[in-house]
Structure 1
């Protein structure tokens, strides 16, 4: 309960004015609900009883009674509107605020953190956990406002008959006990349910992402079973939590009614012995029925605490996460000649016992092209991640124009560097949108980048040209077409350093040769680092680095390495033989 109120305290401090308005509306509603008892009593005394005694009723009295009832009803309606509108605005604004915070944190955290957390969990944190955290805001103003109604009603009960009031108020300790039992039994279930929601989202995301593998290998049944296992477990946990809630809600609703019965029984005895009168008994019993509504509303609020606390803790775990990627204040020239890239004694390991890169040192002069060649798991992609500062090295440094990447201000590296990964990602947007990504580029610049990437021909043949919608992940394009659009996306920014991580692997050799030739002709000032396998690609490089077991095993031109490195010759010739076999 303490943690639940602490979560609500965060929301109140964040949106104090909206909370104040909604709470005042709720207080108005509560006060006027209690005022109904006074209006009813006044009307009975000044209209109903005189009508029976005199056989007539004055028009002025009738209008007064009508005005009182209508006035109370209108003001109570205003209170309801203010309460509900304010609560809704407050709840949705807190959810929007938390989602923005979580997504900003995702963008700030380094790739190392993302690699340790599955995508499904990240989606759950930003969606269901955020909703769960702020769900109690909806009943909060009503619960706070009805406390005022409860206080007014209790004061009237005490003024009517102290003994009967104390008998009726015995309901409250029982409510507290019921809530404590509910919290302790439901909290573990809510924690497990939120975790299972993340796991269900994760499995679904994996299955959708791997639809091609699932379909081609006939794994539909296994994936369905894997998904169903978690879904059924989530269902069972929610049913258990629902059973507990199903006992809690009727208990909270029944307790005030039980209190009324006890008050009536006690009141009858006190009337018979002359300790009180019937009016006091009716007043206390009626006011206790009014008090039952605040008790229920508080119960609704407390009933949401377990899920809220769990959701808030899961969101806060993301917001409290800290990456090791710090930034400096240095800047670099965004335009001009190619960047000077220097890699000094670089070392990196995902696991301390299995280093991926060790003592890697090389340089790429402005405007030059360097090819990274190596067998699978030799460290090529890790090296490109370090050059693009998706991760920081354990030892050594990467420098651009003499400045350590770690000393650059946030966003500076993106001004001079573009990277094209092996797996080209397309957004569910138009061709133009996928290339510009919201940047201020003209259509002429878009077409220039497409021509260099050898993509202008097929884009011109699309139904709507640059305005053609590509669908989710670019499903309307082939793998090679996606790679070329991804390359155009990088080229339009005119980077001083361009990193291609096997970015033309899905393109046939002839088109690849034209692409690389166009890069050198139209972007001769750009420094180029290419992860490559094909001889035609490697042959265009000014220098080749042969990576083996995380080290530079050889460097030189393609022809020099073929002559003096049998391992290098075996590697590139094996790839050519494999490619020739696939073509045949």
Structure 2
């Protein structure tokens, strides 16, 4: 609740104006039955038509004022709801962008997507409805009761006798409904995750003929969401009929008592007509209040979910660290690492890379090759040891100074739905000449020059309109543009043919001689010319040296080489 108030607070001034306008319009609505009762009981008996026209005109004026003020106030409320939701969504997106990888994995991507979409929409509905009905309904309710009390206190007391029971029911149902809406949003997260998995893995599903299996899996998740929605909505749906029951019981009692009072000349007919009109107003106000409770319950549940993300601590903070003496440009000193809730992934890594050198990393699947890349990019911090870059601990770098040093191609990298130029520049300032140079270096000029519009060619999300090799070369161009100080290439040539791979290696040797290069590969041919090759197994270094040294001394490296080449020399 406090979280939502903090975002609405900047608009309290606009809300106060809107509330004042809404208050005026609501008062006009409340005056109409009173004027009608006055006409029936006091004006008509005088048999003066002009007085009837006069008071009829007053009723028309009140109606016009009520309509105009309600429209203006509702539009102001809509703008406040829009601006509040915009700020919440912007802050949530910024927070999600700054979360550590471990936090994203803990919350889950589908849940973050759901909070950015469904939950922010619920907040929009809550802020808007609270302003539209949250002001009008209580005024109509309290004002209606007050005016009916001035008209006939006895009838009003009959109506109010059911009010305590009404308040009790609304309170009980609301307390039960809020947790149910939180559970419902959790089910929405699961549904989003299932849909994303099916869309991302559509080719696998079709290739393995598992469409029926996935339909059953989706049906299970979908049914769980339906059950959660049903439980929440059925709980909250009990409020309107119970309100109808209580208030109509009150109306029945009012009619019975009023019939007796009119018969005894204790109440005038106009008062009864006005009272019944006010009763309808009070009834509608009560129903509006119950609607507010339903929407408010959903909105509070969503606000709590968003607040939980925004209040996540900053795990990867910039802090000063003492560094071990090292002349190397990049050094891993006794680095240990394990993923959250997982066993040891890397253990006791020690190696150094000089400025401009090329380090090749080779190992079986699951040996920890990509984990080294993640640690170097500070997607995670090591659980032990120290990583030094240019004489400084990674944890002491400011992000603005740290990441511009890198050119990166990750194992599972992303192409965005944008132009080729923007996918390569990626928000950085580069000229077309620099981008074309990067394209040539990435061996992509041949196919890029044939694309309609070349650099303006629009790529689809995840590079769906490119082949695997074309996609990798675009990613390589993104990494190479601007000649970064450190090139980190994680399995970046797996989709390239040997000839293209050889040309790429030549470019890295000649055009990027001053850049330090970390190349993670499956093929020995991609790293055989590295100054140093790191051989990993089960998160530990089992060999380090040049291709020639490892081939002569390391049995595991010899086996890999034999398996990939049949013992023949690799032609570069």
Stretches of structure 2 that go unaligned for 5 or more consecutive residues are: 322-327
C-alpha root-mean-square deviation of aligned residues, in Å? 2.6
Give runs of aligned pairs for residues 22-61 of structure 1, distance below 5 A: 22-44=18-40, 48-50=44-46, 53=47, 57-58=49-50, 61=51
Q: Does 1:105 align with 2:101?
A: no
Greater alpha carbon shift after TM alignment, 196-205 vs 62-71: 62-71
| TM score, norm. by length of structure 2 | 0.91
Match of 2:475 in 1: 486
Q: Paired residues, what number?
A: 563
Query: Secondary structure at the residue paired with 1:15?
Result: helix
Give runs of aligned pairs for residues 218-237 of structure 1, distance below 5 A: 218-237=209-228
Q: Is the 8 A contact 1:562 1:568 kept in 2?
A: yes
Shift of the 288–442 alpha-carbon distance from structure 1 to 2, 3 Å rule, reads same
Alpha-carbon distance in structure 2 between the residues aligned to 1:318 and 1:348 = 25
Stretches of structure 1 that go unaligned for 5 or more consecutive residues are: 331-338
| TM score, norm. by length of structure 1 | 0.90
Alpha-carbon distance in structure 2 between the residues aligned to 1:474 and 1:281 = 73
Shift of the 17–452 alpha-carbon distance from structure 1 to 2, 3 Å rule, reads same
- 1:116 aligned to 106, 110, 115, which one? 106
Give runs of aligned pairs for residues 445-524 of structure 1, distance below 5 A: 445-524=434-513
Q: Does 1:202 align with 2:193?
A: yes
Match of 2:325 in 1: none
Q: CA deviation at 1:23?
A: 2.1
Give CA deviations for 1:467-512 in whole Å, capped at 9, x if unaligned: 2222121111111111110011111132101111111111111101
Give runs of aligned pairs for residues 144-163 of structure 1, distance below 5 A: 144-163=135-154
Match of 1:286 in 2: 277
Match of 2:324 in 1: none
Q: CA deviation at 1:116?
A: 2.6
Give CA deviations for 1:255-305 in whole Å, capped at 9, x if unaligned: 434322212212233444565554544443332322223212211101223
Give CA deviations for 1:509-545 in whole Å, capped at 9, x if unaligned: 1101111211222222111111123232222211112
Give CA deviations for 1:300-334 in whole Å, capped at 9, x if unaligned: 1012233223222222221222242111489xxxx
Match of 1:420 in 2: 409
Alpha-carbon distance in structure 2 between the residues aligned to 1:494 and 1:527 = 10
Match of 1:568 in 2: 557
Q: Is the 8 A contact 1:249 1:299 kept in 2?
A: yes
Shift of the 565–508 alpha-carbon distance from structure 1 to 2, 3 Å rule, reads same
Match of 1:190 in 2: 181
Shift of the 15–487 alpha-carbon distance from structure 1 to 2, 3 Å rule, reads same
- 1:347 aligned to 306, 328, 336, which one? 336
Alpha-carbon distance in structure 1 between the residues aligned to 2:444 and 2:342 = 44
Alpha-carbon distance in structure 2 between the residues aligned to 1:407 and 1:272 = 89
Give CA deviations for 1:195-238 in whole Å, capped at 9, x if unaligned: 11110100000111111211111111111110111112222332
Shift of the 340–329 alpha-carbon distance from structure 1 to 2, 3 Å rule, reads same
Shift of the 88–253 alpha-carbon distance from structure 1 to 2, 3 Å rule, reads farther
Shift of the 329–354 alpha-carbon distance from structure 1 to 2, 3 Å rule, reads closer
